[in-house]
Structure 1
Amino acid sequence: MANRKITAMTALTAPAEGDVLPIVDVSEAAAADKNKKITVQELFKGAPSGTESAPGIAFESDDGNGIYLAGTDNVAISTGGSQRISVTNTGTTITGDLTVSGTTTTIESTTVTVDDKNIELGSVATPTDTTADGGGITLKGASDKTINWVQSTGYWTFNTGIEVGGHVQVDDNNKIRVGTGQDLNIYHDGSNSYIEDSGSGSLFIRGSDLVLEDAGGNDYITCSDGGAGGTVTIKHLGTAKLTTSADGLISNGTGSLTIPVGTTAERPSSPAQGMIRRNTTDSAFEGYTGNAWAPLGGGATGGGSDAWVVETDQTVTTSYELGSGKHGTTVSPTINSGATITVPSGAILVIL
């Protein structure tokens, strides 16, 4: 036998799909027909479909792990004999937990659907309020729309307005706080409700018509806008009793108006012009003129139903001038030093 020289073959690190490999076709009976060749492309196309527990392309040391054809247009990856990833012509399904390690995770889908009803943020190894500070959600727009938790305030903070389509529930003793300095507080303490304005300004309640009513719907105070005359009406169980007007107050009732009642000694210590009251010492109505208390015209009085006497003070302590177009009658008064009585021209003062 002649000697043959064997030439060492060069390693091919990047075979093309048309490169060929020798292969023994065991399906051929004749030895001469068994030796054949196959391209690299056909070799991989001819891989067996396999199953979930026995993948077509597997690892010799652990053949329950690999790739198999799970169905038409469905390539799957199996580990431990169970499918973990399924890639079809419509999408990808991952069975089991998914951990993504990196700096940025980008999802470019139109809609993200999460079946889990709870989403955790800031899930670090040892979560604290410090690690949670600034956490939240950012919606990109012309400017960022954010919901963030701020450690220094302990509040969720929205950088835009919030529109609520349902009820807002605030439990007892928890307050709705308004203002940078939390000047306005609205809350219920379990028994009563409060609106507290602790600021230095005023509390304004504005509206075209303002109505204060009880739980039964009965009006007690109604404030009407300028189109209705700008009036304030005080009511009793919805029935008007007193109404403001441009000229003063209008009594709407048919009953009575109760004014202050007391003795002479109980007169106000600092009276002002226009005050009226019932003086029980003199059994008379009186008003303050700006200088002195004077009886209001009530006619004669007397015992029982007898009206036979008009009582006057015996001493004049303050200067007085008869009113325009008026005459006067009095009974021998004592005029104190410094007090004067002025009778205008045409007027008559009769002293009995």
Structure 2
Amino acid sequence: MSDNWTQLLRPSLLNLKPFSSAAMARLSLQTNSRPWIFLESNENPNVYGEEAYNRYPEPQPREVVARLGELYSVPVDQILLTRGSAEGLDLIIRLVCEPYKDEILTLWPDFELIEQLACIQGCSLKKVILKKENGFRLSMDEVNNMAEKNIKLVYLSSPNNPTGQQLHKDMIVSICEKYRNKAVVVIDEAYVEYAEQESISSLLQDFEHLLILRTLSKAYGLAGIRCGAVLSSPEIITYLQAMLHPAPIPQPTADIVVKVLSKDKIATIHQAINDMIEQRNELGNRLINFNFVRRVFKSEGNFILLEVEQVEQLMAFCYAEKILIRDKSTQHALEDCVRITIGSESENARLLQVFKQFQLSIPS
């Protein structure tokens, strides 16, 4: 890593050391016929459930890291496990941004959590407003005009949540070039499994200030266990790991990930992802036929953004039919828009049925 890159980090964190974990220390112990007795971490020796969870887990479970390395085609020393990708973003902001001094740049609309995390860190948020009339697509002119002064971190979700738009790899390269030695670039790929373009993880070898967020919450159906990852250079992973809590990945979480990402299940999951993409495209083609739907935006995620008439009435109608969709109309640049997650085939069919009922309820 170059000296210029480390200048982007907060000086107070450069010498931070990871918490000394008993679980990590135990990994180096030699095993033989005599078992070790662990009396150093104030753990309970008793097991009260069916599984033994009385010992602290590895801070970075090696088997999980290995599975993600295979899944993402990234060396294991370039992976940091986090409690969902949101924790990864929080760590990066705290590593890089000085409160009340540095600024964060993002597209808008984008993942709303960035507003909260920037506020907590005491950083102002500069927004490049994407235009609805252009389908929320980012242009190269907008990239060239992006602010640079005081910007320490650039956050971009690709595919974008909530618009569903994916940034082309060449555009991300241009952004990385623009901010080299100036700011870190964070690409949130929470929905990349549903996209036409594959992950940009190959760019990690070209840009040491690039970090990629991944998650198992979406395509792999594990939102309930909270497991994500940061992909970056080995040096940056080391800095971020020093900021983690002592045991961030619970043992049950690690056990579930290993089971779900087994070779016999991966093929089934990938087929389910392809099925979801087909359902997304079919649902979009059906939704545009309703009179109250003005526009269906192209999506590369597991959701569809719609511009509709009578947003409040539609939301209330769906709620009465026990269907929850997301009202995005109060968010800047998303006036009259709602976001719909792609459900199961039967759930999508029920949604279309309710939309038809709503259309019939509108006075002609």
Tell whether the structures are fold-level matches, with TM greater than 0.5.
Answer: no
Using the size of structure 1 for normalisation, the TM-score is: 0.18
Highest CA radius of gyration, 1 or 2?
Answer: 1
Using the size of structure 2 for normalisation, the TM-score is: 0.17
Tell me which of the two structures has the higher relative contact order, counting C-alpha pairs closer than 8 angstroms and 6 or more residues apart: 2
> 1 or 2, which has the higher helix percentage?
2
> 1 or 2, which has the higher strand percentage?
1
